[in-house]
Homo-oligomer: A and B are copies of this chain.
């Protein structure tokens, strides 16, 4: 149940409303975890009743009021406990790989455009990550004590970049393989 923990980390980085969290899960923390607003509101409600987060009503002008959540002591403790527990190295789940193996029993060449679409999506994500890296980590910080939050966010982003580069290279490999079956062998 790591959605709880992903939300706690995001709220520690910056308190915010359910809506704002949902937006962050489309970017930033969403690079490695996705969640919809329905999930987020449910979890926030549970964490609130468990005393893991505090809520504050924030009136706004020109916008509907919002509830700003921040991490409370017990939430911080729960996160700390989880951080010290070992987790299993997760296994991947690639629909596309199922399709590629399945293509052997259909027309392999028919998959080419689908793989190209995926390659395109990964190229766009890579560009997006690289732009974010240049914007947020382009300049070295004013030399002072090491900023753990910044450095660790950067390390995670570098993981996203490495992942997208690997995927693009692999999809090129797959395209070359599929190309050899053109015209239904």
Contacts and interface: CB of A to CB of B under 8 A. Distances in A.
Contacts of A90: 93-96
Contact of A163 (B83, B103, B117, B166): B166
A39 interface: no
B93 A34 contact: yes
A2 B173 contact: no
A32 B100 CA distance: 11
Given A108-B148, A155-B174, A162-B169, A87 B99 contact: yes
A34 B98 contact: no
Given A9-B105, A152-B108, A114 B94 contact: no
Contacts of A155: 100, 173-174, 177
A170 interface: yes
A107 to B, nearest CB: 9
Which of A91, A118, A156 has most chain B Cβ within 10 Å? A156
Interface of A: 2, 5-6, 8-9, 12-13, 29-34, 76, 79-80, 82-84, 86-87, 89-106, 108, 110-111, 114, 117-118, 121-122, 145-146, 148-149, 151-156, 158-159, 162-163, 165-166, 169-170, 173-174, 177, 180-181, 185
A123 to B, nearest CB: 11
Contact of A104 (B31, B149, B158): B149
A54 B101 CA distance: 21
A180 B96 CA distance: 38
